[in-house]
């Protein structure tokens, strides 16, 4: 009595009906709110079937607008599943009645009856939760078979082996899932015995007798284990199966999956009961998969495969080779269904507003769509073609195209050369793959291996194609990197020097290939046992991280060619047009300013062509590595101790500083340019040889011994945390005075020619306000002097780089003094996590594997680091609503990070030149999902 009352109470609190029907002309579930609400109540499977069943299309056979043909069925809601558990794991009485009612409706629509010995209705009982948990919960197929109906199925299909195979499979699943007679412990041994006796690999190779025999053995095992015979009452089977699928919500693996993926444990499964259709009942039956567009090229041509008289898994498992889908049109018994399928595909695309991957079965010439989903695995090029075509075809808006493009990283593929995919596959098969490292800069390159940057430069000048292979690179290798087509390193991660520079230059890079041992003394490279001498040809893919022996054909990027002013073939021209079109749409919606990092004139030209709206980070110290005289003077600057020594070095460097700034201003034509004051890692500039020491001594007019002593004293244990950035200027304000003076003198020169300028002078590595004020004072003084001297007003701003936790903490104290700041996200990540980006190789893979970090924090914004970005943003914005806040560094090209920066409210993002399109598209996607409040 008490129990009945509770049931009633539970029912009252449940507002919706317990079961929803789909199929034929009866689709009930579409009355439930929006797509998300439906998923919540009907689970993934149930809501998918419901939505498919609700789609109408013009049937080419009748010319009528009619529902898409899906196997009819009904879904028991997740609410009922919860009631089941609340009810002490019993199906509520009302639900049992409702199931009977809906089962009857299903039988009416299909014209078949569960348990009918002549033509039995078979159903699948399927799980499906609101959140996708693939393979975590159970599904039972072919329910409705027993000793008598199996013979009916045999007669009806004319294929007794097929019928018994179905029965065998059903028995296996039902025993395991619904009766607790585990396959692993109780059924598999029986199966193995029969297979071994027959020398067969699996049940598909067994004859009819064996299938029958094995089925009986299973039934016997069930009797032994449970004390009861295998249920022959098909209504009992149905109820038990429904209960079992409910139960699978709390299977060990489902609970574990939810815990790992932080899904609440209240997320239980709905149950869909779906009529079975078979592609195996003769020559008018078939099964197949088709893609509405080509996933490799994106062309609007249906591709796919089908098999006559086969089940779906035969196609997927490749047991039998499929036929190209287009051939189906001319097969007499299948032609009509093919025409229906073609029409259905269009309807599906228009309904889901995206290319689809469709599973279908034809039973007795009649088409059933079993499942559809957004086309996966598309290449960057395919994605571009699909979304732009769909806009042209008129059923996607440009905004939708931006969102539907998917992963913005796909754009990078379009900009870089690639290996011919077939040749690449062949090389793998031929055993030419000799090492795999971290893919650090997309693209492909083939050339002679060289282990010295100097050598690489010389050979490249002589026309050789070079792959530079180094233990790791340092800024001294910049010229070598420029000369090479790609770079391979033994050490370092995605933000190691080699990786950053290569991405900036748009060259292929494979880094951290630990099996590569570069023996510079002996001039040899050892890769996984093989010894390679310089001059031998290797090929590297910065997209996959693979290293191959020998050469490999490279397919250039037509877009890159067009950008360089070269011609492309018709296909290339079209791709270029579409690339520009998509980027244009993205630009309209990106919400934040996209700027570029730059280290050279070429960089900046590329970035502007790709749509950069200014310079977000000019690393001025990177201009100082070469040529030799420049480097010598810069080293002298770092070793200077007296005012005279500083002045000498600065005097020599000043023309270079002016020239560098002027180049930027001229190219930008009034766009903002954040120019960072020198932030060298001193270790990288100290003399490496006696010759260099002597050169510096000559420049400084000091004794060799004195320069040697100063260099030793300047070498740092942890250069990342050393005497850098702002610290240089506090010790020697003349540096910042000269550099700010040089930048603003260049600005004045442009202004006088009528070229607009917006210089933003940035102080790196700051920790507190007192430091910032001291350095800004020097900048303002230099600005004042320059404007006096040049007789022109220069609209400049002063800002900082926020890259220490200290600066984050104090952001409210200095925001009011500044026009802008940017995050130095790499350095902030290094300090917040206390992880040197150059030293992650040994432990980061383990951290990713154990889920301690979701991703390498130098590849994608770490959530803890994000809280620091947020802290500084909130503090600074409150203190100064007008301050311009943006992110720079390497994560500006990572879609996840760009979205995070956008969503926090940042005003802009700066990315490497070749990453500007990714950054733009990522920002637009984020902004369309979650529009930025502040314009």
Summarize as ranges the residues that interact with its own copies (CB under 8 A).
471, 490-491, 514, 517, 709, 712-714, 716-723, 727-728, 730-731, 765, 767-768, 770-771, 774, 803-806, 809-810, 827, 830-836, 838-839, 841-843, 846-847, 850-853, 864-865, 867-868
The answer to whether the CB of 45 falls within 8 A of the CB of 74 is no
Q: Sign of the CA dihedral 910, 912, 913, 915? A: negative
Q: Which is nearer to its own copies, 155 or 727 (CB)?
A: 727
| Residues 655 and 597 sit within 8 Å (Cβ to Cβ) | no
Question: b/e per residue, 691-727, with b = 16+ CB within 10 A?
Answer: ebbebbbebbebeeeebbebbeebeeeebbebebbbb
Q: Quote the least distance from Cβ 796 to its own copies, whole Å.
A: 24
Pick between residue 774 and residue 780 the one whose CB is nearest to its own copies. 774
Cα(268)–Cα(918) distance, integer angstroms: 38
Q: Which is nearer to its own copies, 282 or 722 (CB)?
A: 722
How near is the Cβ of 792 to its own copies at its closest, in Å?
A: 32
Structural contact between residues 306 and 291, judged by C-beta atoms closer than 8 angstroms: no
CB of 897 to its own copies, least distance (A): 17
Which pairing describes strands 758-763 and 908-911: parallel, antiparallel, or unpaired?
A: unpaired
Which 3 state secondary structure label does DSSP give 364? coil
> DSSP string covering 407-424, please?
-TTHHHHHHS-EE-HHHH
> In the complex with its own copies, which residue's Cβ is closer, 330 or 717?
717
CB of 555 to its own copies, least distance (A): 35
CB of 547 to its own copies, least distance (A): 17
DSSP 588-634: HH--SEEEEEESSHHHHHHHHHTT--SEEEEEGGGGGS-SHHHHHHH
Q: Write the CB contacts of 377 (distance below 8 Å, at least 6 apart in sequence).
A: 295
Could you tell me the smallest distance in angstroms from the CB atom of residue 710 to its own copies? 10
The owner of tokens 């269009």 is: 346
Q: Which two tokens stand for residue 886?
A: 């943006």
Closest approach, Cβ 530 to its own copies, in A, equals 15
Q: Which helix (H) or strand (E) holds 504?
A: helix 497-505
Q: Which is nearer to its own copies, 148 or 727 (CB)?
A: 727
* Closer Cβ to its own copies, 224 or 867, answer by number: 867
Residue 444's nearest CA partner among 512, 535, 539 is: 539
Q: How far is the CB of 853 from its own copies (least distance, A)?
A: 8
Q: What is the closest distance, in whole angstroms, from the C-beta atom of residue 686 to its own copies in the complex?
A: 13
Residue closer to its own copies (CB basis): 326 or 848: 848
Query: Which CB atom, from 622 or from 758, has the smaller least distance to its own copies?
Result: 622
User: In terms of Cα–Cα distance, which of 200, 192, 180 is closest to 217?
Assistant: 192
Answer whether the bond into residue 627 is a cis peptide, omega within 30°: yes
CB closer to its own copies out of 602 and 870: 870
Instruction: Please say whether the beta carbons of 91 and 77 come within 8 A.
Output: no
Helix H or strand E encompassing 104: helix 93-110
Q: Per this entry, what is the length of the chain?
A: 935
CB of 490 to its own copies, least distance (A): 7
Judged by beta carbon, residue 14 or residue 768, the one nearer its own copies is 768
Neighbours of 450 (CB within 10 A): 25
| Between 183 and 870, CB nearer to its own copies | 870
Q: How far is the CB of 539 from its own copies (least distance, A)?
A: 24
Sheet holding 537-541, edge to edge: 433-436, 546-549, 537-541, 444-450, 466-470, 486-489, 508-511, 438-441
Nearest residue (CB) to its own copies, 150 versus 640: 640
State the DSSP string of 843-898: THHHHHHTTSSSS-TTTS--HHHHHHHHHHHHHHHHH-TT-EEEEESGGGG-HHHH
CB of 470 to its own copies, least distance (A): 13
Smallest distance from its own copies to CB 45, Å? 31
Smallest distance from its own copies to CB 304, Å: 42
If you compute the radius of gyration of the chain from its CA atoms, what whole number of angstroms results? 34
User: Which residue in the block uniquely carries the two structure tokens 């029965």?
Assistant: 167
């Amino acid at each position: 009595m008490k129990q009945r009352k509770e049931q009633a109470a539970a029912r009252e609190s449940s507002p919706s009906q317990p079961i929803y029907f789909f199929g034929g002309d009866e689709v009930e579930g579409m009355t439930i709110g929006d797509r998300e609400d439906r998923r919540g109540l009907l689970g993934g499977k149930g809501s998918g079937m419901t939505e498919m069943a609700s789609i109408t299309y013009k049937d080419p056979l009748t010319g009528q607008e009619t529902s898409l043909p899906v196997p009819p069925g009904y879904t028991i809601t997740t609410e009922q599943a919860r009631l089941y558990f609340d009810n002490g794991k019993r199906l509520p009485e009302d639900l049992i009645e409702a199931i009977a009612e809906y089962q009857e409706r299903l039988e009416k629509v299909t014209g078949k009856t569960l348990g009918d010995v002549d033509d039995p209705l078979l159903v699948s009982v399927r799980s499906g939760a609101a959140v996708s948990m693939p393979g975590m919960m159970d599904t039972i197929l072919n329910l409705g078979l027993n000793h008598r109906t199996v013979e009916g199925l045999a007669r009806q299909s004319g294929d007794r082996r097929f019928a018994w195979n179905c029965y065998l499979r059903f028995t296996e699943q039902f025993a395991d899932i619904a009766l607790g007679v585990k396959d692993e412990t109780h059924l598999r041994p029986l199966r193995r015995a029969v297979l071994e006796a027959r020398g067969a690999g699996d049940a598909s190779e067994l004859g009819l007798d064996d299938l029958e025999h094995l089925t009986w053995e299973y039934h016997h095992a069930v009797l032994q284990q449970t004390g009861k015979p295998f249920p022959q009452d098909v209504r009992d089977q149905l109820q038990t199966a429904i209960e079992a699928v409910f139960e699978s919500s709390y299977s060990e693996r489902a609970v574990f999956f939810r815990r790992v993926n932080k899904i609440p444990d209240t997320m239980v499964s709905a149950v869909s009961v779906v009529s079975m259709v078979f592609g195996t009942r003769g020559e008018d039956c078939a099964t197949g998969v088709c893609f509405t567009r080509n996933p490799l090229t994106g062309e609007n041509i249906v591709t796919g495969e089908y098999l006559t008289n086969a089940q779906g898994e035969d196609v997927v498992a490749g047991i039998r080779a499929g036929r190209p889908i287009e051939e189906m049109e001319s097969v007499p018994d299948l032609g009509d269904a093919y025409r229906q399928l073609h029409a259905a595909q269009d309807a599906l695309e228009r309904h889901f507003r995206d290319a689809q991957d469709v599973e279908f079965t034809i039973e007795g010439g009649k088409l059933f769509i079993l499942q559809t989903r957004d086309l996966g695995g598309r290449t960057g090029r395919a994605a571009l073609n699909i979304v732009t075509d769909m806009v042209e075809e008129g059923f996607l808006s440009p905004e939708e195209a931006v969102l539907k493009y998917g992963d913005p990283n796909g754009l990078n593929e379009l900009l870089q050369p690639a290996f011919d995919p077939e040749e690449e596959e062949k090389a793998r098969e031929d055993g030419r793959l000799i090492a795999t490292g971290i893919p650090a800069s997309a693209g492909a390159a083939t050339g002679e291996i060289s282990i010295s940057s100097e050598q690489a430069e010389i050979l490249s000048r002589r026309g050789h194609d070079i792959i530079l292979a180094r233990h790791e690179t340092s800024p001294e290798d910049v010229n070598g990197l420029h000369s090479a087509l790609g770079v391979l390193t033994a050490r370092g991660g995605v933000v190691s020097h080699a990786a950053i520079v290569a991405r900036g230059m748009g060259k292929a890079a494979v880094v951290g290939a630990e099996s590569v041992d570069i023996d510079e003394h002996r001039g040899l490279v050892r890769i996984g046992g093989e010894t390679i001498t310089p001059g031998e040809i290797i090929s590297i893919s910065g997209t996959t991280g693979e290293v191959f022996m020998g050469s490999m054909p490279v397919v250039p990027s037509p877009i890159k060619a067009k950008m360089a002013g070269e011609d492309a073939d018709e296909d290339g021209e079209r791709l270029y047009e579409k690339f520009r079109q998509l980027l244009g749409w993205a630009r309209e919606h990106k919400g934040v300013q996209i700027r570029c990092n730059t280290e050279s004139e070429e960089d900046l030209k590329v970035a502007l062509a790709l749509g950069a709206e200014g310079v977000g980070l000019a690393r001025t110290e990177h201009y100082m590595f070469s040529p030799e005289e420049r480097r010598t003077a810069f080293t002298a600057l770092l070793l200077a101790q007296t005012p005279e020594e500083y002045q000498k070095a600065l005097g020599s460097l000043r023309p270079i500083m002016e020239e560098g700034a002027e180049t930027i201003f001229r190219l930008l034509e009034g766009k903002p340019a954040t120019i960072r004051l020198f932030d060298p890692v001193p270790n990288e500039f100290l003399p490496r040889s006696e010759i260099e020491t002597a050169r510096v001594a000559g420049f400084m007019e000091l004794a060799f011994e004195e320069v040697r002593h100063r260099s030793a004293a300047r070498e740092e244990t942890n250069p990342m945390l050393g005497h850098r950035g702002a610290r240089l200027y506090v010790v020697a304000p003349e540096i910042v005075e000269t550099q700010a003076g040089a930048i603003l003198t260049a600005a004045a020169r442009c202004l006088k020619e009528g070229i607009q300028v917006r210089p933003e002078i940035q102080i790196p590595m700051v920790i507190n306000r007192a430091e910032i004020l001291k350095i800004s004072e020097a900048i303002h003084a230099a600005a004042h002097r320059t404007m006096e001297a040049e007789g022109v007003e220069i609209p400049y701003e002063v800002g900082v780089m926020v890259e220490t936790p200290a600066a984050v903490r104090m952001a409210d104290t200095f925001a009011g003094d500044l026009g802008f700041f940017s995050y130095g996200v790499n350095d902030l990540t290094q300090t917040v996590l206390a992880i040197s980006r150059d030293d992650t190789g040994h432990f980061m893979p383990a951290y990713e594997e154990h889920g301690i970090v979701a991703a390498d924090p130098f590849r994608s914004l770490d959530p803890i680091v994000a809280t620091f970005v947020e802290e500084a943003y909130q503090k600074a914005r409150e203190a100064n609503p007008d301050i311009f806040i943006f992110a720079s560094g390497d994560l500006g090209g990572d879609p996840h990070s760009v979205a995070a920066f956008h969503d926090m409210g940042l005003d802009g993002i700066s990315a490497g030149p070749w990453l500007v399109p990714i950054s733009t598209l990522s920002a637009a996607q984020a902004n369309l999902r979650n529009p930025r409040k502040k314009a």
